[in-house]
Structure 1
Amino acid sequence: MKGEVAFIKHTIVPENSNGNGPAWASGVNADDYQLICPGQDAQVEISEYAKCNLAAVPAHAVVTRPETHSEVVRILLEQQAKFCSSVSDAPFRMFQSDSGKNLLFKDSTKCLQTIPAGTSFETFLGAKYMSAMNYLRQCGETTPDLEKSCTFHSCQQKN
C-alpha cells in the first residue's frame, strides 16, 4: 500500500505524536509506528532506532563556500559565546525560539562545532550513509525531484 513506509530521522515520530507537535499531528500516536530493520524479519519499536537504521545521519551543518569558511566559523563561534543558553543576561538566544519553533537553529541545539576546512560532504556524511543513499538511488523512483532537476541535461547524466 502507498504511504506505508517512510524514511525519517528518529526524532520525527516523538516530536509529532502523543500530543506533541503541530495541530495536524494531534491524533498521531507513537505506538502506531514501527521500524523495519535491514536484515531482520521482525519489526521493532521506534525507541530501538540506534540498533535499527539504514545509516546514522550526521547533525545539521552550516555550509559555506571554501573561501569564506574561516570567517563564517569565527563569526558563528563569537555569536555563540555571546548568545548561548549559558549566558544569563543575553537579550537573544541562538538556540531558543521565543516566538516560534526552531527559528534560527533547532531549539534542541546545545552548541556549534567546527568542521575542519576542506571536509568533503562525503566525509561529513560518512561511508555508511553515502552507501545507503547510493543504493536508494539505483531506483529512479527514489531520487528526489530537486536532484533530478539538477541533472536534466544529457551531459549531466550519470552513465
Structure 2
Amino acid sequence: MAAEAFNARQFLAFGMDILGVERWEFLKETSVIERFTNAYGAKPITCEQMWTDLISMGEVNKKSKPMHLFIALRFLYKNDTELDLMSFFKIGSDNTIRKWCWSYVKKIQKLLKGKMLTWEEADDGMIFFLTVDGTHCPIEEPRPFSKIWSSHKFGGDAALNY
C-alpha cells in the first residue's frame, strides 16, 4: 500500500502540533520555521522531499506517519536518549521509540545511499564540498605545554582537531 504524500505546510503543522505550539499560523513564518528546524534538524520542505523520496523508494507504507520520521530526525540532530524522545513525543514505551527511531534512521541511510555519487560517477567538471566532523586525534604532548593542544574528548590530553 502506498503511503500518503504530505507537503511542507502539512509537515510544519504536524511538527508544531508535536511541539504544542498553538496558533502558530499567526506567528512570523521565519520564527516558526526556525523553531521547527531547531526541534527536528531539518526544514519542513526538506521533510517533504525526504518523505517523497522514501515513498518513491517504497520505504514507507500507508501506516507510516510523519511523526516516525520526526523521531529519527530528532535523534540524529539532538542525539536524545530514549527517555528524552519518549518525553518529547509523549510516547510511553521505550520499545516503540526504539522501533520507529532505528527503522527510520535506516530508511534515511538508504535514502542517502541512493542520493550519493561515487568518485567514479563524478564528471570532471563537478565541484564537491566536503565537511569533516571535527575528529580529535591523540598526539604526543608538545613541549612546552600549551592549552591550545587540549581536547575535551580526551580528558584534556593533547589532540589535533580535524
Q: TM-score, normalised by structure 1?
A: 0.23
Q: Which has the higher contact order (CA 8 A, sep 6+)?
A: 2
- Higher-helix-fraction structure: 2
